[in-house]
Amino acid sequence: MQTTDSADGEMKGSDITQIAANSMPFVVSIQNMSVKQVQDFFGGIREQEQQRGAGSGIIVGQNDSELMIVTNNHVIEKSQTLTVTFHDETSVEAVVKGTDATKDLAVVAVPLKQISSDTKDSIKVAVLGDSENLLVGEEVIAIGNALGYGQSVTNGIVSAKDREIEMEGFDSKLIQTNAAINPGNSGGALLNMNGELVGINTAKISSTDVEGIGYAIPIHR
| Residues annotated as catalytic (active site), given as ranges | 74, 104, 186
Alpha-carbon distances, residue 217 vs 88, 117, 153, 212 (angstroms): 27, 32, 18, 17
Handedness of CA 198, 108, 91, 203 (dihedral sign): negative
- E strand or H helix at 21: helix 16-23
CB atoms within 10 A of CB 156: 17
140 close to 72: Cβ distance less than 8 angstroms: no
Please give the Cα distance from 148 to 117 (Å, whole number): 26
Alpha-carbon distances, residue 186 vs 12, 71, 97, 142 (angstroms): 26, 7, 18, 10
Give the three-state DSSP class for 18.
Answer: helix
